[in-house]
Amino acid sequence: MQTIAEIMTRDVVTVSDEATLREAAAILTERQISGAPVVNSEGVLVGILSESDLLNEVKKREALPRVTAFGLFIAPEATIRRLYHEGGDLAVRTVMTTSVVSVSEEMSVQEASRLLLSKKINRLPVVNPEGALVGIVTREDILKAVFSL
C-alpha cells in the first residue's frame, strides 16, 4: 500500500503567519498555486491560506481594528477605510484558515484521497509528530499515484 511519504512534495511553498496579504498573494501568484500552508517562526503549521481566504471580504472586515474609546476610533477612519478596501497590509494570520486538516507520512494514499473528498479540500499538509511541516500532498499528487501517471 502506497503511503503519503512516497508521493508528497517535500520542498513546500509556505507563507509566514506574519506576512501581509499582499506578500502572500505575490507568493501564490508567482508560484502559480492556489494555496499554501502557513507556518510560524519555528516552522510549525499554524494554518492554511487559500485564494478564497485572500478574497474573503468578511474575514478582512473582521480583522480590521475596531477599538473605540467613548465612541471615538483610536485609528483614524481614513486608515480603517483604506485597510478595508485594500486589505493588503493585514497579516496572513488574520484571515488564514486555522482548522487545518493535516496528515502524517504514514497515512495511505487511499485514506488521504477519502479525506480530501470528504472534507472538500485541495491539499493536505504533512506534519511530523511535533507539528512541524514536512511536506504537502495535493489532489493532483493523489491522481498521479492512483492512476500511475
User: pLDDT digit string (tens) for 53-66?
Assistant: 887 765 666 655 55
CB hemisphere CA count around 20 (13 angstroms): 9
pLDDT of res. 90: 82
pLDDT of res. 148: 82
Spell out, as residue ranges, where the chain has pLDDT lower than 50: 67-70
Cell reading at 7: 508521493
> What is the pTM for the complete model shown?
0.78
CB 132 within 8 A of CB 13: no
pLDDT of res. 80: 60
pLDDT of res. 64: 56
* CB contact set of 7 (below 8 Å; sequence gap of 6+): 109, 137, 141, 142, 144, 145
pLDDT of res. 84: 54
CB 14 within 8 A of CB 38: yes
pLDDT of res. 85: 56
pLDDT of res. 69: 46
Supply the DSSP symbol for 96: S
* CB contact set of 60 (below 8 Å; sequence gap of 6+): 21, 84, 87, 90, 94, 95
